[in-house]
């Protein structure tokens, strides 16, 4: 076996083991996270969370660890109207087109809300031009 083949084989094996071949920059994540917030469950998380007395997630995110926060997003809060949201998030057309894994989608959503909370994200995130190539829906 030639070295070239060996190297290619190792590279393929490494990428096959990864959850998704597509990687996103911080800017891309923030924009995708914003869209997930706006589109989850039809009208977005804000249908409830932008309305009091429901929890303001930019405050919740200061109190909860990332694990605790995402656990609620995945599993919901049993006995409340906060149902598991991850399945809803994975149904968003944009998430499908970007070939995001659940982990990537939740990570992007978290990064956006964290940014809003600590003030590094102000208002609308502009769509990064670099995303164009990544939204062609050509998933593996
Ligand atoms: C139908 C209304 C509704 C929608 C839509 C909704 N939530 Fe919730 N969510 C709630 C309510 C109500 C609670 C508080 C539950 C309780 O009493 O503990 C909650 C709690 C949470 C919490 C825990 C907050 C805390 O301070 O303990 C997180 C995190 C959360 N939601 C994230 C999300 C995200 C992210 C989305 C969108 C993907 C979303 N929710 C969509 C109603 C909703």
Instruction: For ligand 1, say whether the CB of 47 is within 6 Å of any of its atoms.
Output: yes
Ligand 1 pocket check: which of 48, 75, 105 to mutate, most ligand atoms within 8 Å of Cβ? 48
**Confidence band of 3 (pLDDT split at 50, 70, 90):** low
Of all protein residues, whose CA lies closest to atom 20 belonging to ligand 1? 82
* Residue 93 CB contacts under 8 Å (≥ 6 apart), including other chains: none
Distance 15 CA to ligand 1 centre (A): 35
For residue 139, the model assigns a pLDDT of 82
Instruction: For ligand 1, say whether the CB of 74 is within 6 Å of any of its atoms.
Output: no
Reply yes or no on whether the pLDDT at 15 is more than 50. Answer: no
Please confirm whether the linkage preceding 53 is cis (ω < 30° from 0): yes
Contact 22, 98 (CB under 8 A): yes
Reply yes or no on whether the pLDDT at 111 is more than 60. Answer: yes
Instruction: Name the residue among 101, 129, 91 with its Cα closest to residue 21.
Output: 101
Q: How many CA atoms lie within 13 A of 33 on its CB side?
A: 23
Q: How many CA atoms lie within 13 A of 87 on its CB side?
A: 5
Chain centroid to Cα 37, Å, comes to 9
Q: Please give the model's pTM, rounded to 2 decimal places.
A: 0.88
Of all protein residues, whose CA lies closest to atom 34 belonging to ligand 1? 45
For residue 80, the model assigns a pLDDT of 97
Task: Give the Å distances, CA to CA, from 105 to 27, 52, 53, 132.
Answer: 14, 26, 26, 17
């Amino acid at each position: 076996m030639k070295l070239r083949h060996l190297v290619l084989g190792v590279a393929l094996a490494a990428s096959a083991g990864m959850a998704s071949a597509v990687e996103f920059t911080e800017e891309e994540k923030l924009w995708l996270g914003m869209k997930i917030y706006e589109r989850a469950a039809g009208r977005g998380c804000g249908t409830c969370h932008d309305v009091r007395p429901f929890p303001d997630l930019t405050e919740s995110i200061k109190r909860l660890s990332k694990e605790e926060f995402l656990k609620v997003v995945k599993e919901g809060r049993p006995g409340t109207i906060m149902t598991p949201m991850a399945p809803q998030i994975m149904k968003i057309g944009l998430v499908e087109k970007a070939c995001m894994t659940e982990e990537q989608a939740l990570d992007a959503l978290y990064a956006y809300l964290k940014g809003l909370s600590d003030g590094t994200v102000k208002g609308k995130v502009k769509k990064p031009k670099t995303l164009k190539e990544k939204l062609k829906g050509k998933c593996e």
